[in-house]
């Protein structure tokens, strides 16, 4: 399963963080109001271990507070240098409602 987010090809979206690899990269939290609607970017972040970060994230209440019927996560696996660049680019492009730099 894959999705394009901006100019990046991401794995997902997954409804369960257990589908994420325990690798370095960028996670994108996505929400939609119904299965017929398009995904909205709710949050973007980077981590050395995406699965662990998403599983224990302090901004999860904000994600749920956006009142989407469905929340999912997509992953762009990248090394430490590139994940920080990708995160900044996606945050600038989508201005997600959750999280601040």
Q: Residue 11 belongs to a domain with what CATH number? A: 3.40.1440
> Is residue 32 in a domain?
yes
**97 domain residue, yes or no:** no
Q: Is residue 101 part of a domain?
A: no
pLDDT in tens, the chain (101 residues): 899 999 999 999 999 999 999 999 999 999 999 989 999 999 999 999 999 999 999 999 999 999 999 999 999 999 999 999 999 999 999 999 997 65
For 38, the domain range is: 2-91
pLDDT at residue 97, rounded to an integer: 96
pLDDT of residue 1: 86
43 in a structural domain: yes
Which region, left, alpha or beta, applies to residue 45 given φ > 0 means left and ψ of -120 to 50 means alpha? Answer: beta
| β-bridge partners, 11 | 2, 75
> In the chain, how many domains are there?
1
Would 33 be classed as within a structural domain?
Answer: yes
**Continuous H helices in the chain:** 50-55, 60-65, 80-94
Please state the pTM of the whole predicted model. 0.95
């Amino acid at each position: 399963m894959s999705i394009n987010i901006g100019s990046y090809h991401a794995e997902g979206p997954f409804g369960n963080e257990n589908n994420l690899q325990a690798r370095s990269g960028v996670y994108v939290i996505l929400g939609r109001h119904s299965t017929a609607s398009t995904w909205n970017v709710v949050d973007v972040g980077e981590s050395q271990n995406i699965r662990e970060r998403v599983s224990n994230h302090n901004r999860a209440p904000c994600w749920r507070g956006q009142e989407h019927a469905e929340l999912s996560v997509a992953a762009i696996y990248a090394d430490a240098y590139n994940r920080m660049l990708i995160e900044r680019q996606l945050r600038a492009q989508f201005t997600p409602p959750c999280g601040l730099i």
